[in-house]
Chains A and B, each alone.
Chain A
Amino acid sequence: MAFAPMGPEASFFEVLDQHRASLLALLKRGGREPAGSGTRLASSSEVLASIENVIQDVITSLARNEAPAFTIDNRSSWENIKFEDSVGLHMVSHCTTRKIKSDSLKSVKNFALILKILSMIYKLVQSNTYATKRDLYYTDSQLFGNQTVVDSIINDISCMLKVPRRCLHILSTSKGLIAGNLGYIEEDGTKVNCSCTTAVAVPSNIQGIRNLITNGKFLLIVEKDATFQRLLDDNFCNKLSPCIMVTGKGVPDLNTRLLVKKLWDTFHIPIFTLVDADPHGIEIMCIYKYGSMSMSFEAHNLTVPAIRWLGLLPSDIKRLNIPKDSLIPLTKRDQMKLDSILKRPYVTYQPFWRKEIEIMADSKMKAEIQALTFLSSDYLSRVYLPNKLKFGGWI
């Protein structure tokens, strides 16, 4: 597969290459992520057997004249989540659980819905077909009530069976985009070349893609679609070729995170984030790097602790003399989020991040990436990012 040959000279990537070398050395020294202790890939027959075991347990309870119940890990409880620098946020091995009882007035409906979705998953896996969470919801929207119920139960099932959602043949709708020096073949045989002028949607079946090819020197995760489009318009991928760009359009969906993880696992190229200098942007960056509470049970398949923060750093605001009228005061909600981030366990491991966050907290101001346009309309792609990448301006 041939990629566009344009791009800076080889010396431009010296620091990047050094960074990559250090990352590889770290991996070799044992910084490699431990084997997944949460979910694990499972074959269709294993998934079917798992579901049958669950049903068998239910029937056995009934045969003993006992009301059956499901035992579900408390996925979204901080007491069940720990932080490891090599993984990020993930569930502890012996976590607290809750029971979904069939004879409890409060949980009988939930109990029934879990069985309902299990039966739907069973059929999907048996028939080797796929459906999105939305599809499942619409099979009986009146029964489920709302999408959130379905989403939560699917995650509970994934956690209960210790099988990632994609092995349940439930796809999440992708909203992310990819562009740049990357090619692959999807499960159905479709060949995808991301170096076209328009971006490519993140595929919905990450597990199924194969034959990934790239010469990319780095992967840039862009928080917002607006910034991503701006970079596409500025032909960034070619100017700094070879490279890959990804956006999750805000809080990333599961597939975008899986893709980023897959690219790291496959190529071990440096990954950087370009987010707004505000608490929301920092949180999104943390999701890519360390994971989220709600998906902590799948952390080993989703997190990339090697991610570095490229920009927009709060310290860049002062360094670049971005005028104050381009800045936005932090709201009360921003302040609360900032305080929350500062208390998270992973910030302790990132003193430079902590310092940047504290700069933001002290200044009580935030800035979007678009604030750089005050310097020039293409400052971001022409000056800011190239300088950052060339001289190692990441933390």
Chain B
Amino acid sequence: MAGTAAAVCEILKYLIIHWKCETAKGALLEGQLVISIEALNSKQQENTLHCVTTIASAGSIYGGLIYRNFLKEMQSVLPGSSAKLNWTSEEVSYSQDISRVTPFQMSFEVDEKPRTLMTDSLVIKNFLRKIVMVHPKIRFNFSVKVNGILSTEIFEAKNEPTLNLSNGIALVVNYQHYMSRPKFGTTQLLCSRIHPVRGHPVVLFIPNDVAGVDLVGELILTPAAAVCPCPEVSSNQLMNRISSVSIFLYGPSGLPLILPNQEQSITTVFKDTSYFIDWKKYHLCMVPNLDLNLGRDMVLPDVSYQVESSEGDQSQNMDLQEQTLLLILFMDFHSQCPVKQMELWGIHTLLTAHLSAILQESHSAVQDSIQFAVDQALEQQHQVAKVHQKFQTSLPVAVNSIMSIVTGSTSYSFRKTCLQALQAADTQEFGTKLHKSFYEVTQQRALHCSCEGKQHPHPEKNDPEESAEDAQENSSLELHAGTSGLAASKKLKGSLPPAVEGTRAFRSAGAPSPSEPPLRRGEPPAASETPSGSRAGPGNGNCPEDALWLQEVSNLAEWLRPGP
């Protein structure tokens, strides 16, 4: 795909990789980037817009950016020879010695058809949304001015709840980024978050026939799965049903690997919906969803599946809360040596070009890790559904019993008192109000997700300076959540990259275990017991609400376990 969108996205990727390399390890990127496109009718061509795209930074993030290298890499992606790249920083650096940070501005010019510009705008917006999903403190100001008509949009997630990961990125957990608000009129969302569960990290092997690769380090894939919206969704007791799957692919530095409308060869491995995930165990039949609408005001997944059919009566039941299973695959590069920008850029290019082949090369381990994450995420949903079921069977019994006594009573004062208490004119209205108030009161309290209703984390809690330890702890919390009370978790082996070390650190706090490396191809996972009874306490790091959510799920698991 050529055009403004590709250029903007590649430039942003380059800049963010550079930015990441210049930022302290584990710290979140924080700053603002302004992208503006000014399009005027071309004087040389009919039905063509002459577009000037400008990318600027407002803050001090691009010190040390070597213009020569930048230009060399960007020339290959700039759309055709008509593009002109202008660097208008205060000080253009041709040297590698400049370490002083300065704001910068660069622009390029392209001629495009109006429809192409419109598509490009949507592509850029989606790209920005994807970046903000994992870099919540980066603020993008994106404006498009076509023949004087300006539209501006800001993309950021600074004050939104996030889940810190250990490699300097944080996943936004506000569900509204991933799906529109459920359409059921009486639905009251009790939890606005998603609760990702991470799978164990997996080392990815590069196929022998992929040329030009000489990595001094390891490529690690870490999946995260979450049901969106939160299974504890509804106050009107709707049953939950997975209706679609959205897969997001991220490369090093938390950058999206592919663009919409891009050639989809790199995602061919996902065309087989069962290649990495066994859906049959959940009685789901997944088919690829090719109808991805760029115009949606939420992040567009890289790969999408939809449920074709499901067993049982649920498919006939219209009172269903549809949910999406989010699967986010983070691919990152870890090395004992400091990773250079060009190395990361090269890895990004490698992944972009050969993702399918790389994933296929490590199919077994990848499948195992993804399946684990998906199993945990769906198990949570399943348990919540069971809890809902308990309530749905119990409360009607209570309501009917009360009605039986009230309607059967011959005591005028008793009946009057009951009706007056609920402000009902007659027993029929009393029954309706009784039903309604019972559900409202009990559901709000009992199904209230422990992470809802809390204040949003203070900005300083997402402060990169304190996030290193907290990020490890929090990512470990989610991994622990995935395993607590449920199937045995899998130990990690060998020297762990930071993303995994945090997990080990958490585990060793509860029960010492030998260090183990991420799963490699051909190695079956060693099952082990999660430290029983270990629960994340409240107030851990940045997300005490997540710790409380973990405890809630653990409680659910215990309660639903058959007792003596």
Contacts and interface: CB of A to CB of B under 8 A. Distances in A.
A62 B406 contact: no
A62 B422 contact: yes
Interface string B432-454: 00100110111111100000000
B411 A102 contact: no
A122 B418 CA distance: 16
B441 A113 contact: no
B405 A108 contact: no
A119 B422 contact: no
Given A52-B414, A118-B405, A122-B404, A60 B445 contact: no
A20 interface: no
B422 A59 contact: yes
25 contacts: A48-B409, A48-B411, A55-B406, A58-B402, A59-B434, A62-B441, A65-B437, A65-B440, A67-B441, A102-B442, A103-B444, A105-B391, A105-B555, A105-B559, A108-B391, A108-B446, A109-B390, A112-B398, A115-B397, A115-B401, A118-B401, A119-B402, A119-B404, A119-B405, A126-B410
Interface string B407-441: 01111001001100110000000000010011011
Nearest to B421: A63
Contacts of B417: 56
B228 to A, nearest CB: 23
Given A59-B418, A103-B445, A109-B390, A119 B401 contact: yes
Given A67-B441, A103-B446, A108-B442, A113 B397 contact: yes
A67 B439 CA distance: 9
Nearest to B397: A112
Contact of B397 (A49, A63, A105, A116): A116
A233 interface: no
Nearest to A51: B405
Interface in A21-55: 48-49, 51-52, 55
A143 B400 CA distance: 14
A74 to B, nearest CB: 18
A51 to B, nearest CB: 7
A111 B441 CA distance: 14
A52 B411 contact: yes
Interface residues of B, number: 36
Most A-side CB within 10 Å, residue of B406, B410, B556:
B406
Contacts of B410: 126
Interface in B440-490: 440-446
A209 B440 CA distance: 49
A145 to B, nearest CB: 12
Contacts of A111: 394, 398
A34 to B, nearest CB: 34
A123 B404 CA distance: 9
B395 interface: yes
A105 B421 contact: no
B350 interface: no
Contacts, number: 102
A344 interface: no
A63 B421 CA distance: 6
B422 A115 contact: no
Nearest to B406: A55
Nearest to B441: A67
B387 interface: yes
A123 B445 CA distance: 32
B559 A106 contact: yes
Nearest to B445: A103
Contacts of B401: 112, 115-116, 118-119
A66 interface: yes
B394 A108 contact: yes
Nearest to B403: A119
A126 B406 CA distance: 13
Given A59-B421, A108-B391, A123 B402 contact: no
A65 B559 CA distance: 26
A116 B418 CA distance: 18
User: Which 9 A/B pairs are nearest by Cβ-Cβ distance?
Assistant: A115-B401, A103-B445, A112-B397, A119-B401, A112-B394, A112-B398, A103-B442, A63-B421, A119-B404
Nearest to B442: A103
A104 interface: yes
Given A59-B421, A59-B422, A63-B421, A143 B446 contact: no
Contacts of B390: 105, 108-109
Contacts of A126: 408, 410
B248 to A, nearest CB: 33
Contacts of A56: 414, 417-418, 421
Given A63-B437, A119-B405, 15 more contacts: A55-B406, A62-B441, A67-B441, A67-B442, A102-B395, A103-B443, A103-B444, A105-B559, A108-B446, A109-B394, A112-B397, A113-B397, A115-B397, A119-B401, A123-B408
A108 B442 CA distance: 9
Contact of A115 (B398, B421, B443, B559): B398
B12 to A, nearest CB: 47
Contacts of B402: 55, 58-59, 115, 119
Most A-side CB within 10 Å, residue of B397, B408, B555:
B397
A301 B169 CA distance: 71
A56 to B, nearest CB: 6
Nearest to A123: B408
Contacts of A106: 559
B441 A122 contact: no
A68 B410 CA distance: 24
Interface in B252-292: none
B421 A60 contact: yes
A118 B406 CA distance: 12
Contacts of B414: 52, 55-56
B68 to A, nearest CB: 63
A104 B445 CA distance: 8
A213 to B, nearest CB: 39
Interface string B343-354: 000000000000
B438 A62 contact: yes
A108 B405 CA distance: 19
Contacts of A122: 404-405, 408
A59 B423 CA distance: 11
Contacts of B394: 108-109, 111-112
Interface in A59-96: 59-63, 65-68
